[in-house]
Structure 1
Amino acid sequence: MMKTAFIGLGVMGFPMAAHLRQAGHEVCVYNRTSARADEWVTRHGGRRADTPAEAAHGADAVFTCVGADADLQQVVLGKGGALAAMRPGAVLVDHTTVSAKIARRLAEEAASKGLLAVDAPVSGGQAGAESGQLAIMCGGSAEAFSAAEPAMQAYAKRIVHVGEAGSGQLAKMVNQIAIAGLVQALSEAVHFAKRAGLDVATVIDAISGGAAQSWQMNNRALTMADGEFDFGFAVKWMRKDLGLTLEEAKSNGARLPVTALVDQFYADVVAMGGERQDTSSLIRRLEK
């Protein structure tokens, strides 16, 4: 079993850290809002730290799951950050969805200190984090991946080493590109079915056994039809992810017309007050 630290106890990090604890690992947690860390310790044991550095001190593996590039930079590289306190040979595992640029920078900074680093964004949402069934795409050296992978098994159903540092983040961008277009198409399909006077549940049952089937269809089509969006992956975070993706596309020359269009559709949802609703709220644009 490993001595670990988990930094960032949001809707994803809170249950992920709990799975580490349940798997038998020693866990020290840090969260910017200390009450959240206190709640985690009350529910799961372990201990909490007052700074990322305190949490990371002596750990075999340090996990981060925060909000964006600036947040990650603060808890890892900032004053009281984790990297300065980690022991030689330890591994930093970042589960935040951030830019490939900062992922590469963290890997370089870690290597300069005799540390390992893996960028390991996840897919599966809050439900996947709570059930321990996340898909994790990893970037970093083979040595770093080997050091991190055993602990990640505590909350994953699939872990894939994609390539060098930054590759995990690039793979997550591929994931979000695919989801963005799919959710728009599903929104239009459900909207069309309703306008055509069809029973949406019956139609989804009919088509979900064929080529149109997807996780989004299985889990979001009926709630879309019922106008239920107060759960799941928030629009504000999807817009953050798509922004990272479109910025990366400017660098590598990828042409993403549908992704750019759907990002603007999500901007419409934000303007309608839906930034904290699930990404399936995209259908609201069609039915307003």
Structure 2
Amino acid sequence: MTAPKSVAFIGLGVMGGPMTGHLARAGHHVTAYNRSPERAEKWRGMWADEDLEVAFADTPAAAAQDADIVFVCVGNDEDLAGVTLGEQGTLSAMRSGALLVDHTTVSADMARRLAEAAQSRGVEAVDAPVSGGEAGAINGQLAVMCGGTEAAVERARPVMDCYSKAIVHVGPTGAGQTAKMANQMCIAGILGGLSEAIRLAEAAGLDLDRTYEAISGGAAQSWQMDNRWATMTKNEFDFGFAIDWMRKDLGYALDEAKRLGLSSPVSALVDQFYADVQSAGGGRRDTSALITRLPRKTSDQG
């Protein structure tokens, strides 16, 4: 346990809400802000049993003004710019020497832009996107990939520990976001193969539980297989990381790959498959709903 810090958390969504709770539970002095007041009220209801001491501010600036560290977890580049660089954004009120840690998945360009703006105010910034989904946030088991100076990451590490299982300093500003892009490309490719594998097993008339048992202990094993095989075979997708967000992340990844002169045909193809699921109304379903794009055939249908 590190000494209690005065922290602000901007964004009480699926990920930020549990992370804020972990910070308060660890004894830090937390002030929170959410753009939607309804979400703030929902957060109060979810954590009412623990009677956590969290103050709520009316603006990002008000939340950030006395904080040692300001954490942000919102939606995309535009959202992040609004709560940090806007007239009432966090940087308008943060004191010199404070630390800004962004857990939003955004573009590497946005990470660099934010770091430059922070530096001009004497504030250090760390781009620190996370992986592990809603379950990881709730259970305090997130993987955090960090870009920024080593000193800034080490300042943030003992505080981030309360909701993390792994914190890795990847490199300079923007490196955390680029690592998250690589993470999402891996997930997309795995889910593409997993979807086709399940449909093959179904069409062949295999026992799906035994098939999972047979292949999950070997080289095909993955987090996606262990956590999504059963729900994919049952057509259950009302949970987890939404396809809308995955497409946003893959867009950043494909843009960065293009900037670097790279071809990413597998990621681009899976992104288009996700676009098909979106068009069919599945944008808010878990990313494993990729399988719904493939028609189900049983062995007796040939």
- Counterpart check, 1:13 vs 2:21: no
Cα distance in 1 for partners of 2:221, 2:42 equals 39
What secondary structure, in the 3-state scheme, does the structure 1 residue paired with 2:30 have? Answer: strand
Cα distance in 2 for partners of 1:21, 1:269 equals 38
Does the aligned pair in 2 maintain the 1:183–1:216 contact within 8 Å?
A: yes
- Post-superposition offset of 1:21: 0.5
Instruction: Identify the match of residue 51 of structure 1 among 47, 59, 63.
Output: 59
Match of 1:25 in 2: 28
Divergent runs of 4+, >2 A: 38-45
Cα distance in 2 for partners of 1:229, 1:39 equals 23
Residue type at the aligned position of 1:13: G
Match of 1:280 in 2: 288
- Post-superposition offset of 1:45: 2.7
What secondary structure, in the 3-state scheme, does the structure 2 residue paired with 1:273 have? Answer: helix
What secondary structure, in the 3-state scheme, does the structure 2 residue paired with 1:92 have? Answer: strand
- Post-superposition offset of 1:179: 0.7
Match of 1:225 in 2: 233
Cα distance in 2 for partners of 1:35, 1:232 equals 21
TM norm structure 1:
0.98
- Counterpart check, 1:132 vs 2:140: yes
Cα distance in 2 for partners of 1:34, 1:273 equals 27
- Counterpart check, 1:72 vs 2:80: yes
Q: Percent identity?
A: 61
Does the aligned pair in 2 maintain the 1:38–1:48 contact within 8 Å?
A: no
Residue type at the aligned position of 1:207: I
Cα distance in 1 for partners of 2:19, 2:261 equals 35
- Post-superposition offset of 1:39: 3.7
Residue type at the aligned position of 1:229: F
Residue type at the aligned position of 1:19: H
- 1:57-89 residue CA offsets vs partner (Å, 9 max, x unmatched): 110000000000000000000010001111111
Residue type at the aligned position of 1:25: H
- 1:190-230 residue CA offsets vs partner (Å, 9 max, x unmatched): 01000000011110011111000000000001111110000
Q: Which runs of 5+ in 1 are unaligned?
A: none
> Counterparts of 1:16-165 in structure 2 under 5 Å?
16-41=19-44, 43=48, 44-165=52-173
What secondary structure, in the 3-state scheme, does the structure 2 residue paired with 1:287 have? Answer: coil
- Post-superposition offset of 1:41: 4.2
Equivalenced residue count is 288
Instruction: Identify the match of residue 174 of structure 1 among 178, 182, 187.
Output: 182
- 1:210-260 residue CA offsets vs partner (Å, 9 max, x unmatched): 000000000001111110000000000000000111111110012100000
Cα distance in 2 for partners of 1:219, 1:41 equals 29
Cα distance in 2 for partners of 1:151, 1:279 equals 30
Cα distance in 2 for partners of 1:33, 1:56 equals 17
- 1:8-46 residue CA offsets vs partner (Å, 9 max, x unmatched): 011000000000001110100000111322343453331
